[in-house]
Structure 1
């Protein structure tokens, strides 16, 4: 196992969802040791409640859960505008038929097949988080550019009005 990489003061918050208590505890402990702030949920309804309660940077959930499956949880997350951009990764057993297809159709960013190497899981989490941060940064930049464009349009309108006033004044003086 690689040593934990030091993280900034604001630790990324991961929501880990699994009905299997021992699996949930293991993931929470190992991911916590990697520097993540871990929030856990035993089912989809609880996970949605946790998403509403505090900001989450990434959701890591089991594909097979009852009563709400991983793909159903993913759809529920995607349907809510406030959470639509939160990356979702689903964990699936190799024995499950077409897990990736169901997960991706629901809007998940990634599917991790069991058994997996923990280091690979962490690398994939970081890759998904980095991509989400780039998208958020681009959106913020676009919003700032839109605001600047709106200000420039207002300034241009004001200059145009001033030009018409000056032109009207020039005509009045020359008449």
Structure 2
């Protein structure tokens, strides 16, 4: 069963994926397969370099091997989740073998999904589609929240201005009443003396 055809270039720009694995062979296979599915894929063989690339250029999704030298996939995930800019970046963890404890550990640490190697690329593609769709929904919610926050701030400013105008109107009214009262007293005084 073959899955998706390459993405239609007229619909939307291709989604970008950073694949991180210390095995160059695995990276090359992943890169070719994801490119065939229509994704723009960058390849990286270590965590520190991957984090630098993510900071320099955002990605739509990161595939990370859990067992890497220098920086494990879990350490990389912790770095991503700990930074405000990447806290919601979709991450799929990859592991050798099918130990369910490793999957639970990855998901508990904040991975969006987990896949045991060797994996079927149709399954990977389906999981990527699901995680990217979730990422789009989160981005839409963030945009909607930002727009709502901006509207609330604008309303708060308007309310503050209205309160200031109301206070000024009340002060003007009090001055006017005091002036009328003073005029009435002056009229009464003149009538008594005149």
Give the conservation status (yes or no) of the 8 Å contact 2:7–2:39.
no
- Superposed CA offset, 1:60-91 (max 9, x none): 01122112221111112112222121111011
TM-score (structure 1 length as normaliser): 0.91
Please tell me whether residue 6 in structure 1 is matched to residue 8 in structure 2.
Answer: yes
Q: Report matched runs for 1:85-100 at 5 Å.
A: 85-96=88-99, 98-100=101-103
- Judged with a 3 Å threshold, the aligned counterparts in structure 2 of structure 1 residues 123 and 95 are, in CA distance, closer, same or farther, namely closer
Runs of 4+, deviation exceeding 6 Å: none
Please tell me whether residue 68 in structure 1 is matched to residue 57 in structure 2.
Answer: no
Give the conservation status (yes or no) of the 8 Å contact 2:93–2:114.
yes
- Quote how far apart the aligned CAs of 1:46 are: 1.6
Give the conservation status (yes or no) of the 8 Å contact 1:70–1:90.
yes
Corresponding residue for residue 28 of structure 1: 31
Corresponding residue for residue 46 of structure 2: 43
Which has more radius of gyration? 2
Gaps of 5+ in 2: 179-194
- Superposed CA offset, 1:97-152 (max 9, x none): 62112212322111012232211211111111111111111111111111111111
Please provide the CA RMSD for this pair: 1.7
Give the conservation status (yes or no) of the 8 Å contact 2:98–2:116.
no
Please tell me whether residue 53 in structure 1 is matched to residue 26 in structure 2.
Answer: no
Q: Report matched runs for 1:67-146 at 5 Å.
A: 67-96=70-99, 98-146=101-149
Give the conservation status (yes or no) of the 8 Å contact 1:18–1:24.
yes
Higher helix share: 2
TM-score (structure 2 length as normaliser): 0.83
Gaps of 5+ in 1: none
